[in-house]
Amino acid sequence: MIFDILENKPILEDTYGLVVCGGTSSRMGMEKGMIQYYTKPQQYRLYDMMKPFCKEVFISCNKQQVAKLKPNYPYLVDMPRYERIGPMAALLSAFTKFSKKNILFIGCDYPYLKKTDLESFSNVCNTDKPVAFCNAKKNMYEPLLAWYPYSCADTLMEKYEAKQYSLRIFLQKVNAEKFFPENKKSIISIDTYREYTKAYKDING
C-alpha cells in the first residue's frame, strides 16, 4: 500500500474516506466540524488530509448541515432509516451507498491528528478485520479513528437490527485490530468548549 505519485493511486485500496462531522455538540455549544484550530475548519482540514489515502472522500453530515457546506466538497447525508443512532448512522449509510468499499472513518473530534499518523495507520489496514486507533492507557478503541473493511458490513447491520448502536462495542465484539499511535495526542478527543480553548492555545501558541 505505497502511494504511487505518478499514477496518483490512493494509499488504501478500495477505500472511501468519511469525515464524520456529527451535529451540534451540547457540551461544545457548536458543530465540531466547523471548529477551526488551524487555517481551515476541522471538516475541511480532515478532508484534505485524507485525500491521498482514499479513492474518494466525503463529508458525512445530516440534512440540516448540507446548506452550510462549501460547494466544492462532496458530502454524504445520513440515510433516514439510520438517523438518531449516533456515528453508526454515517458508517451504515456509507456501506449502503458504496457497495464493496472499505471506509476510512475519521471524526472531527481529534485536532492533534496529523497526516503522519494516518500514514503509519494505513500500513496496518490490510486485513479483513476493522482496525482502530487504541488508547493504550485505557486499552480502549477509538471508533472515530478507524478503518472499516466492507467485509464487516453485514455484521454491523446485524448489530443495527439488534438495536446495538455502539461502534466501540462493535469493535470489541469483532476483535478489531488495535493501532497504538506514536503520537499520543492524536487520540485526544475535544468535547467541551473549555477543552477547545485549551487545545487551541496549545496548537497555536
Half-sphere exposure at residue 51, Cβ-oriented, CA atoms within 13 angstroms: 10
Give the pLDDT score at 8. 65
Q: For the chain, which domains are there? A: 15-204 (3.90.550.10)
Half-sphere exposure at residue 70, Cβ-oriented, CA atoms within 13 angstroms: 11
Which residue in the block uniquely carries the three cell numbers 505518478?
6
Q: Mind listing the pLDDT tens digit for each residue in 172-182? A: 999 999 999 99
Query: Would you give the DSSP letter of residue 68?
Result: G
Own/partner long-range contacts of 93-101 (Cβ < 8 Å, ≥24 apart) = 93/60, 94/16, 94/18, 94/58, 94/60, 95/148, 95/150, 95/153, 95/156, 95/157, 98/16, 99/150, 100/14, 100/150, 101/14, 101/15, 101/16, 101/55, 101/150
Give the pLDDT score at 27. 72
Which residue in the block uniquely carries the three cell numbers 477547545?
196
Give the pLDDT score at 7. 52
Q: Mind listing the pLDDT tens digit for each residue in 38-76? A: 999 999 999 999 999 999 999 999 888 898 899 999 999
- Where the chain has pLDDT below 70, the residues are 1-8, 23-26
